Structure formats: C-alpha cells, structure tokens
Amino acid sequence: MRKFTLAIALIAPMLGHAAWAEDTVKIGYIDPLSGGGASVGEGGLKTFQYLAEELNAKGGILGHKVEIVPFDNKTNPQESLVQAQKAIDAGVRYITQGNGSSVGLALEDFVNKHNTRNPGKEVLYFNYAAVDPSMTNEKCNYWHFRWDASSDIKMEALTSYMKDIPSIKKVYLINQDYSFGQSVRSDARKMLAAKRSDVEIVGDELHPLLKVTDFSPYIAKIKASGADSVITGNWGQDIALLLKAAADAGLKVNWYTYYAGGAGGPTAIKQTGLDHQVFQLTEGFANSGNQAAMDYEKAFRAKVNLSLWYPRAVNEMRMFKAAAEKANSIEPVKVAAALEDLKLEVLDGGTGFMRKDDHQFFQPIYVSSFGKLAANEPFDEENTGWGWHLVSKVDTPQAMVSTTCKMARP
C-alpha cells in the first residue's frame, strides 16, 4: 500500500497542466501602464497575457509555463531601465516592449551592456513595435529582435501606394518629436521626392510626445496650408486626439497613418465622417480575408474584449516557441542563435523570416482604409459600425530594405 501511494505521489504532478518543467519562462512586459500611453500599453499587456495562456494550454514552451510579468515604464526611457533591472532581479531572461522608440533604443543598449557584463545570465529583448530604423542599422546588436516593420519599411510601402494616386498634390507632415517621429518625416520627404517629385510638402510639424491635449492649433495650420493629404506616425492618444480635432474643425483631407487603429482612433475617424479616407499600414488586420486569421480575431475578441492590434505579437510568441524547440532549450543564447534566419507562417498568411544580418523580421505589409463595411467584412472597430478594408498588399520580398548593421556576435 505504501509503494502504491508513493507511485501515485510521483505520477500525479505529471498529469494535466501540473506537469510543468521546473523553470517558468518569464517575459517582462515593459510598457506604459499609466500616463498618456496607458491605453495602448494595457491593450498590449492583455494581448501578451492571452498569448501566454494560449501557449500554456498547449504545454507551454518545451514544457515550461510562460508567465507575462508587467512593468510600468510610463513611456520614459530612464524609468524603463529601472524596470528592466527590476525584471532581471526577478528572474526575467526575456523582455518585450513596443511603445516608443526612445524607450526601445535605451533598452537595446541596456541589454547589450548587461549581457557583456554578465556572461551566462544573458537577456533577450523582443521588440514588437519600436520601429526607429537605427535599431536594426547603426545601433543594432545581437540581443535585440524586432517583429514589427521598421518605419522605413512602412514608408516604402506607403509611398509606393501613394505614388499612383494622381489627386495627391499637397502633403502635410505631422509627427511626434522623438526618434521615431523624426524618422517618419525624413523618410516621407526622401521617398516622396524619389517617387513623386511633383508632390509639394506644405507643412512639416513636430510636437511633444503624448503631452498635447488640444490639437486644434495644429489642425488650423493643416487647414490653412491647403493640404489634400496628411502623413503621420502618431500613436496612442496623439493620433486619437489629432483625428478628434480634425473632426471638430471639419478638416476634409486624406490621412495616411501608421497607427490610426489604436485605442480611440477608430471612434475619432468615425467622427470625422471620412469614409475610407483614413489609411493605415499594418502586418495584418481584422478583415484581411485570411480565414485562419479572422477565426483567431473572433476568438481573441470574445476573450479579451479588444481588437487584435498586434498580429506581430502573435508572430513573436509563436516564433519564440519555434526557436526554443529548434534549440531544444529556453536559454537566451541558444534561442537567439535559433531565431536567426528562422521562417514562420505569419498570422495573416504568407512567410516571414528573421534576417540574420540585423534581426529585423520581414513579412507582408497591408495598406487598409477605414469606413463602411462590405458584406464580407465581419469586424467593426470600437462599435462604430465601420471597419478596416484591404486596399493594397506588399508581399515579403517587396517589403525588404537594406541594412547598414555591423553586428558584433558573441
């Protein structure tokens, strides 16, 4: 009887979800959970928590349970470094972040220095939305991997679409005054000049990041400029409030955006009344037409009560699992090596891959417009009755850009 009881005691932990390996895979989520970026930060946190639950329901990563550990950085680079150290002290070996390239650049440098000083205790930085091109060019390093398209990749896709629209004559640029916003304005100027030299830039504005509460003075300038189109990389409350001010002023222009689909953006677009005149660049969207992705969107919304803003987060977590299985290890050094040149069938269909040269992920890019839904488009946004509609798709080979990265490898 004693032997039987002992056997049951040994077997019981191996049944069901109790059969976890000893070490939990902790992923430190370092993003704004307070302040002006809180709405997008909270949405990202819920997304990664959903993805962790999804992995754990299927046995985790190599039998290890996945845990998302949140850290509030208030969209501040210095605070992010404090939180990154707290995460490492708490046993985190993987961190993920996306909102703010100024934060991303600080974390990239921090992780590189930490790993140099602490061999055997390396940490990887998984970037899901910080898109300053310098992060995979002159400031690249081995410990950073980016799943979002960099801002120059997105601008290449956007301007390739815009060049074939003859009605675009006068463009106004408005962006957040930090590294990402500055890269959007410089890329827009360079690429429009190369593809449509007849287009006039009638305004070029930078404003403080997540600090402006009234965009009406900026909208007045756009209106006075005679612009027919606006290009903006604004995100978070900066795009929602910008569009709200446009609606209040009755500004009727076309908007070419990176992040109009974030929290509050769709509601503000509906208020403008600009039916399919606001465009967005993404790696996927709810009405993409890919059935597997649309089924995933439906399940995600039912559980999280949010739209899936970050298909790239799905790609990131799936690829993390695939790399760990390829390496047969959850050790960051081995996972990093396995990620290089790894291919993945992305959520919205098509092949993506992590380029070894600079750790930039390449994938199809979509241009979509926001407005009244077609009969075959089931998903609206923020209960507006309007949703995203496919305008153009750029396949992976055409979405690639060159790199100047000179990566130092361990």
Per 3-state DSSP, what percentage of the chain is helix, strand, and coil (rounded to 5)?
A: 45, 20, 35
Q: Tell me the C-alpha to C-alpha distance, in Å, between residue 42 and each of 72, 97, 209, 221, 236.
A: 10, 12, 18, 33, 11
* Amino acid 327: pLDDT: 98
* Residues 85, 113 contacting (CB under 8 angstroms): no
pLDDT surpassing 60 at residue 1: no
Question: Tens of pLDDT along 22-62?
Answer: 899 999 999 999 999 999 999 999 999 999 999 999 999 99
* Amino acid 355: pLDDT: 98
* Amino acid 21: pLDDT: 84
| The domain made up of 152-282 is a member of CATH 3.40.50.2300 | yes
* Amino acid 274: pLDDT: 96
The CATH homologous superfamily to which domain 9-149+292-362 belongs is Response regulator (3.40.50.2300)
Q: How confident is the model over 379-397, as a mean pLDDT?
A: 97
Dist. CA 37–CA 84, nearest whole Å: 18
Which residues, 6+ apart, have CB-to-CB distance to 372 below 8 Å?
275, 276, 385, 386
CATH 3.40.50.2300 range(s) for the chain read 9-149+292-362, 152-282
pTM: 0.92
* Amino acid 19: pLDDT: 66
12 — pLDDT class (breaks 50, 70, 90): very low
pLDDT surpassing 70 at residue 131: yes
Burial 40-57 (b: 16+ CB within 10 A, else e): bbbbbbbbbbbbbebbbe
Q: How confident is the model over 118-122, as a mean pLDDT?
A: 97
pLDDT surpassing 70 at residue 211: yes
* Amino acid 20: pLDDT: 87
pLDDT surpassing 60 at residue 16: no
